[in-house]
Chains A and B, each alone.
Chain A
Amino acid sequence: MLIWSAKGRVAALLVCAALVGVFYLLPLWVIVAASVAGQWNGLLPEQLTGQHYLNAMSGQLGRQVGVSLVTGLIASAAALMVGTWSALSVRSLARWPRKLSHAVFFVPGAVPSVSVGLGLLVAFSRPPLLLNGTVAIVVLAHFILVFAYTFANISAGVQGLPVDMEQVAHSLGASPAFCLRHVTLPLLMPQMVTAFSLSLALSMGELGATAMVYPPGWTTMPVGIFSLSDRGDVFDGSALSIILVAVTLVALLAVSAASSKRS
């Protein structure tokens, strides 16, 4: 307790309410309001309508939901696999090689996403591997960008693993593969779920690298929202944004439900 006087408390809470309201509640509210607004000139939206959602869900725009989900799921699953592998493989290294590998695995998260996209364009528009213009280059970009976050999450979990449980299993004659499957991975499950959820959310909202590499016909939701708002269809853009947030939340809930059912 920092402030004891009633007046001081009220003042502090009012300042806090104003800050949270202006910075965090108002932006969410205006996007929701704009997504159902027929017209908006004054304080409140007028002529409420569901038309923007119909526009956002129909035809080309509706396809974007699927494109984003497929991209996000494949990239996040790949990042989960490679990230878990990396985090487990570096833990038996000595101090300095381990630190170095950590730094190497984190670097993709520190490089600006546009530059990651540029690198992919430059590298895969030439032999030996031509990926420019394919769906694969979009998935690859998302994989690289979410990989570092997956690795960070899981290696935090690996550092907190109780070593003795694996040693007990090992001393009882369990093979390394058995240990991994039945001891280590179950213990890491919470971090793996968190990592997968976060990568999915990040991938669904990714714009920088996608804008660089996406081929016609594989437009993700963020790119779609940008083209809508760029040409002034801000209300349709808001509706697609709300769909983006909703689909992300539903996907996250599904991930956490599936994982709690398994354990």
Chain B
Amino acid sequence: MSTGAFGLPRRGLWALPPLAVLSAAFFYPLLLVGWQSLHAQADAGPWSTQNFSRLLGSTLFRNALTHTLEIALAATAGCLLLGFVLALVFAFVPFPGAKILARLIDTYIALPTFLLTLAFTFIYGSAGLLNGVALRHLGFSEGPVHFLYTIWGVILAEVTAFTPFVLRPLLAAFSQLDVAMLEVAASLGASPWRMVRSIVWPAALPALLAGGSMCLLLTVNEFGIVLFIGAKGVVTLPLLVYDKAIQEGDYVMACTIAVLNIAISLALYGLYSGMVDRLGRPDADLVR
């Protein structure tokens, strides 16, 4: 292999054209967003941190930040729990059709997330299935199910949407587990609870950490689910960026919020790649 300037192998120079494309289409716009967030007026004026101090003082922003973090943490916890339970049953309590169900859940990765919110309005919405049945058949005078238009509605939809990102690496990890270990443990009288704790849990941990940090990133970035719920009281950072820019035309504040949102996302992405680096990639396809 020949060596070019800077001691880089000349073949490495082939990386420059795609880097140039990405710089023009992605990093340059990102830099401009950052530049704008540090200027109080659109396209002009002196550098200032005024936008950030204005933002940190606004209740709207603080609420959006709190909601984003609450939703991300609760939804990730939900994904880990649901993913772990489903993976346990799929892998260790086999039944006919388990493969098909696992694949069905997996295809949710390729479906748009907002479909879930749309579906949930038919199930849990104010005129939805549950409230309809309660009104018509159970003698309620008003619909008893309200949670859809709170952060719990968003959390439920995100748990559904992102559990596949936990389930996939878990099933990959479990398929490498020696089943004979479980059989020996069971024949020696270990309870299922004990086997989960001392055999399954250690095998699951890397997949849970990697899948969980992926879920944190995806839930912080989620937009469609929150937009479709359309509840006034449920605003997250991506939705606030959209509202400021598109509804109010305030690009300066939109850029400022975006900078903070991107900073959180990049930190979570760092967490995820750190996990994958340290623990070994639990499944090469996780990022798909």
Interface residues of A (CB under 8 A from B): 1-4, 8-9, 12-13, 15-16, 19-20, 23-28, 30-31, 33-34, 40-43, 82-83, 85-86, 88-90, 92-94, 97, 101, 103-116, 118-124, 126, 140, 143-144, 147-149, 152-153, 156, 159-160, 194, 198, 201-202, 204-208, 211-212, 222, 225-226, 229-230, 234, 237-238, 241, 244-245, 248, 252
Complex interface: chain A residues within 8 A of B237 (CB): 112
Question: B22: which A residues are within 8 A, CB to CB?
Answer: 82, 104-105, 108, 144, 147
The 3 residue pairs across chains A and B that have the minimum distance between CB atoms: A205-B112, A119-B29, A27-B119
Asked, given contacts A93-B12, A152-B287, whether A122 binds B251 with beta carbons under 8 Å apart, the answer is: yes
Contacts of A19 in B (CB 8 A): 82, 85-86
Q: Report whether B122 and A114 are in contact in the complex, using a CB–CB cutoff of 8 Å.
A: no
Supply 4 further A-B pairs (C-beta < 8 A) apart from A26-B119, A41-B127, A207-B227.
A1-B94, A26-B123, A112-B265, A115-B33
User: What secondary structure prevails in chain A residues at the interface with B?
Assistant: helix
Give the contacting residue for B114; candidates A120, A121, A225; CB below 8 A: A225
Q: Are A4 and B119 in contact (CB under 8 A)?
A: no
Interface pair B18/A89, CB less than 8 Å apart = yes
Q: Let me know if A119 and B95 touch, CB within 8 A.
A: no
Q: B186-212: which have CB < 8 Å to A? A: 186, 192, 195-196, 200
A-B contact pairs, 21 of them (CB 8 A): A2-B186, A3-B93, A20-B86, A31-B122, A43-B129, A43-B132, A82-B21, A92-B9, A92-B12, A108-B22, A111-B221, A112-B261, A113-B238, A115-B241, A118-B255, A148-B287, A149-B288, A153-B288, A201-B111, A211-B227, A234-B121
Contact assessment for A144 and B25 in the assembled complex, using a CB-CB cutoff below 8 Å: yes
Give A107 to B29 CA distance when docked, in angstroms. 14
* A97 and B8 form a contact (CB under 8 A): yes
Question: Is there an interface contact between A248 and B284, defined as CB atoms closer than 8 Å?
Answer: no
Given A3-B93, A4-B186, A112-B265, check contact A89 B115 (CB 8 Å).
no
Provide the residues of chain A in CB contact with B116, threshold 8 Å.
27
User: What's the nearest-Cβ distance from chain A to residue B241, in Å?
Assistant: 5
Are the CB atoms of B118 and A241 closer together than 8 Å? yes
Check if B160 is an interface residue, CB within 8 A of chain A.
Answer: yes
Q: How far is the CA of A90 from the CA of B220 in the complex (A)?
A: 30
* Given contact pairs A93-B8, A109-B287, A230-B230, A2 touches B88 in the complex (Cβ within 8 A): yes
**A93 engages B196 (CB within 8 Å):** no
Binary interface encoding of chain B residues 16-52 relative to chain A, with 1 for a CB under 8 A from any of its CBs, else 0: 0111011001101110110010000001000000000
Is there contact, CB below 8 Å, between B132 and A41?
Answer: yes
Alpha-carbon distance A112/B240, docked complex (angstroms): 12
**Given that A116-B26, A222-B112 are contacting pairs, would A234 and B122 also be in contact in the complex, using a CB cutoff of 8 Å?**
yes
